[in-house]
Chains A and B, each alone.
Chain A
Amino acid sequence: MQSNKTKRSQSINLASMRKSFSVKPLALGVTAILLSACGDKQEATVFTSVDECTNANPEFAEKCKTAYEDAVQEAERTGPKYNSQRDCESEFGNNQCRVVQQGSSSFFMPFMAGYMLSNLMSPRGYYSQPMFTSYSRYSPYRNRWIGADGYDFGDQRRRNMRVSEKALKPKPTVSKTMSRGGFGSSVRAKSNWGSSSKKGGWGG
């Protein structure tokens, strides 16, 4: 009747359960790039203009241009969008945002600050994606290369990096977010109640 198997997990990968690196989340993106030398990483370069790309790769002038155009389109589709100029500028800095019309609505997006190119010489085709950066003193993105999804690729002065393939995949689109904060009100109401919710968790 009794089984001979053990009743607990056979093994657990302890290394993957360690969290001590996550103390400073801001440095996370950079650390991950520096530490990981795994096979799924590849070289990528950030260019701030088509000319810059062409000067570095004269034989690929045409690709530099189409990659730039792809990135511009991708920036509009997937880049950060804000309801107000103030929200956008507080994240990206004064005069760093523009109005964009999509359908009947308009919103504010940061200017594309550059584009990341990888596999430019590969016959299988290149990857490109828009890069943003912030000039706002209040933003964690200040002087960093930031992907459309907010991924931090590191210091803006660095142009060459090794990134995972996943980081180069196109991001899913969501149209403009209309409102936030529509979930969570019960917690505010019940937390105000006092002593029995002192621990504050909402699981059970």
Chain B
Amino acid sequence: MLRVSIDERANWKRKAEEFGFKFHTMHGEAYWDESAYYQFSLEQIEQDLEQPTEDIHQMCLAVVDKVVKSEELLEKFQIPQHFWQQIADSWKQQDPSLYSRLDFAYHGQGPVKLYENNADTPTSLYESGFWQWLWLEEQVNAGKIAKQADQFNSLQEKLVQRLGAIGKHYNINQMHFACCQDTDEDRGTVQYLQDCAKESGLSDDFVFIEDIGLAECGSFSDLQNNKIQTLFKLYPWEFMQREEFGQSIERAQVNWLEPIWKSILSNKALMPMLWKLFPNHPNLLPAYFEDELAKATETKLVKKPIFSREGANISVIENGKTVLHADGPYGQEGFIYQAYYPLPKFGNNHTLIGSWLVNDQAAGISVREDSSAITQDMSRYLPHIIL
């Protein structure tokens, strides 16, 4: 695993415009950064990243299977009681899932360590599945990167395939897609999935989360009053379950993507549960619920809210003292504690690997850098190659 400097493509910003990649620069700061790339060996990819990704996914599913059957655990996961039955039903029916992203700390050797599972609303999908793919294609054609270079990135191919399979599963030829207003990044991510859906033969309609309507018959509707039958929502289940229309979810009979059973995975309570079910697994960090903190022997711990996004409200605690803290709006549902395990540093950059799953198959990686040890929403995205 190396960080290699390279010239940017001279025309990449114009290209970005042409392909509708609008969020490469956010708030005046670069998000997409092609002044360097990360280089992995095939062995690093296949043994250290690909295989553990699929193994961890299976371990996560074992957690879901345990939690849906236990009221005590559902409470620990802060899932409102109203949804317990729906989640259990969705799990029992094996409602199909589309994708997830596991966040890893990886030092180029030894086992990756799982930080968390973004199983419900992962972003950086477009830049991973398409934009870094195009970057490699063009840098190879320009002779800047060796011809035999490859990339761990079959995301787009697998997404198209999976969306087609989900269409067959539900016997549908159309899907609705939704995200919140006023965010180029989320809209871009959802547009990408619409493109993949189109490629798979489905027709696609878009509605903003805030514009979703509730019809007399109990269905959810889009702005044209069309019934929402299948909905990909880039909007967290834990929000939806606590909002006004949450009570109408069951009656609306929507085919949800992600399915509601994923509420259990996109939840930091997953981490202590994994540690309980698979203690001392090489890819896991010791993790504890708040009420079992006495068991922790580590002197340095990371405190994470049960629900949070992009590093918000995370603190690093050393011998009981907070030594690093990221602010944010989360935390009222409680916290979990995870053994501190640093990200590798390349120069001044802390580097985080996102490892993608489409359903249960490992589908590629994304690399993000942050100047802080806590990867936040202003981290930069760098492409990678296999050589």
In the complex, which of the residues A20, A148, A182, A187 contacts B18, with contact meaning CB atoms closer than 8 Å?
A20
Please report the C-alpha to C-alpha distance between residue A17 and residue B195 in the assembled complex, in whole angstroms.
Answer: 7
Selecting from A37-45, A155-163, A168-176, the interface stretch reads A168-176
| A149 neighbours in B (Cβ, 8 Å) | 224, 226
Contact A180 B376 (CB under 8 A): no
Contact B226 A193 (CB under 8 A): no
| B213 neighbours in A (Cβ, 8 Å) | 177-180
| A201 neighbours in B (Cβ, 8 Å) | 123, 183, 185-186, 189, 310, 377
Residues of B within 8 A of A (CB): 17-20, 26-27, 42-43, 45-47, 118, 121-123, 129-130, 133-134, 136, 150-157, 179-183, 185-186, 189, 191, 195, 198-199, 203, 208-217, 219, 221, 223-227, 229, 234-236, 239-240, 242-245, 248, 266, 309-310, 312, 326-330, 364, 376-378, 386
Residue of A nearest to B235 (CB): A202
Q: Besides the contacts A80-B225, A193-B329, what 8 more A-B pairs have beta carbons closer than 8 Å?
A: A7-B152, A16-B195, A20-B18, A20-B19, A171-B224, A177-B216, A183-B212, A202-B121
Please report the C-alpha to C-alpha distance between residue A172 and residue B121 in the assembled complex, in whole angstroms.
Answer: 28
B145 to chain A, nearest CB (A): 13
Contact A200 B118 (CB under 8 A): no
Contacts A180-B213, A201-B123 given: A196-B183 contact, CB under 8 Å?
A: no
Taking the complex as formed, is A123 at the interface, i.e. its CB lies under 8 A from any CB of chain B? Answer: no
Contact B326 A181 (CB under 8 A): no
Residues of A within 8 A of B (CB): 1-3, 6-10, 12-14, 16-20, 22, 78, 80-81, 105, 148-150, 166, 171-187, 189-190, 193, 195-204
Contacts A166-B203, A203-B185 given: A182-B245 contact, CB under 8 Å?
A: yes
Please report the C-alpha to C-alpha distance between residue A3 and residue B378 in the assembled complex, in whole angstroms.
Answer: 36
Contact A203 B234 (CB under 8 A): yes
Contact B312 A197 (CB under 8 A): yes
